[in-house]
């Protein structure tokens, strides 16, 4: 099977698995995952790029609240055209959002563009080597090297444990995550 077909299949399987987590189970898993993510993120410094959950992604709202409470600057991505990197704009809980591409809420164009040192990344599927697939646009794979040309960047994948797969075929442009937080654990991949 061609690698892209295999990836498509893994993508659909992981999306189906995460959509099965509902109601109280989803709430409880999200609270546990937020605890794991925060316990790792508090040892980082700099602006944290989060995301606005869409489809059945695990939502980072509790992490945003807790980081904001400790005085950390936060940012959200704006969705670019295909082939371009993400841009991040300054944002804090309660700030107004506008509707961007794919109907994902994003900061208004007036919000300051920033270059995060920390990224919370929402994989659709991930493996223990830190490889991830998203929705197939390659946005994070383009963005992370660009930010790393400016300064060190720590990337934390954030997902439900059921989105883990044994092995994701990797391509040369794929940038592995430094760690992944789920409701069960923090998976450490690199020494960053």
Ligand X SMILES: Nc1ncnc2c1ncn2[C@@H]1O[C@H](COP(=O)(O)OP(=O)(O)OP(=O)(O)O)[C@@H](O)[C@H]1O
Contacts with ligand X by CB under 6 A lie at 133-142, 173-174
Helices (H) and strands (E) in the chain, counts: 4, 12
Q: Would you report the helix, strand and coil content of the chain in percent, each value rounded to 5?
A: 30, 20, 45
Beta strands 125-126 and 132-133, pairing class: antiparallel
CA distance 139 to 127: 19
CB of 143 to ligand X, least distance (A): 8
Give 72 or 118: the residue with its C-beta nearer to ligand X. 118
Backbone angles phi, psi at 53, to 5 degrees: -55, 135
CA distance 76 to 38: 17
| Binder of residue 141, out of ligand X, ligand FFO, none (CB less than 5 to 8 A by kind) | ligand X
Give 8 or 90: the residue with its C-beta nearer to ligand X. 8
| Binder of residue 54, out of ligand FFO, ligand X, none (CB less than 5 to 8 A by kind) | ligand FFO
CB of 105 to ligand FFO, least distance (A): 9
| Binder of residue 102, out of ligand FFO, ligand X, none (CB less than 5 to 8 A by kind) | ligand FFO
| Binder of residue 142, out of ligand X, ligand FFO, none (CB less than 5 to 8 A by kind) | ligand X
């Amino acid at each position: 099977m061609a690698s892209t077909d295999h990836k498509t299949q893994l993508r659909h399987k992981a999306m189906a698995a995460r959509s099965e987590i509902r109601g109280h189970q989803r709430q409880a898993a999200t609270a546990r995952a937020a605890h794991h993510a925060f316990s790792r993120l508090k040892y980082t410094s700099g602006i944290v790029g989060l995301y606005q959950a869409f489809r059945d992604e695990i939502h980072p709202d509790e992490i945003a609240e807790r980081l904001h409470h400790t005085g950390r600057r936060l940012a959200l991505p704006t969705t670019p055209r295909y082939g371009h990197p993400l841009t991040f704009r300054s944002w804090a809980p309660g700030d107004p959002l506008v509707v961007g591409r794919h109907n994902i809420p994003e900061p208004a164009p007036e919000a300051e563009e920033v270059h995060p040192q920390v990224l919370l990344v929402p994989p659709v599927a991930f493996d223990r080597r830190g490889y991830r697939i998203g929705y197939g646009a390659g946005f994070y794979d383009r963005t992370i090297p660009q930010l790393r040309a400016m300064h060190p960047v720590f990337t934390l994948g954030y997902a439900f444990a059921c989105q883990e797969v044994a092995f994701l075929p990797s391509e040369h442009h794929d940038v592995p995550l430094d760690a992944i937080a789920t409701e069960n654990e923090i998976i450490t991949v690199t020494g960053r």
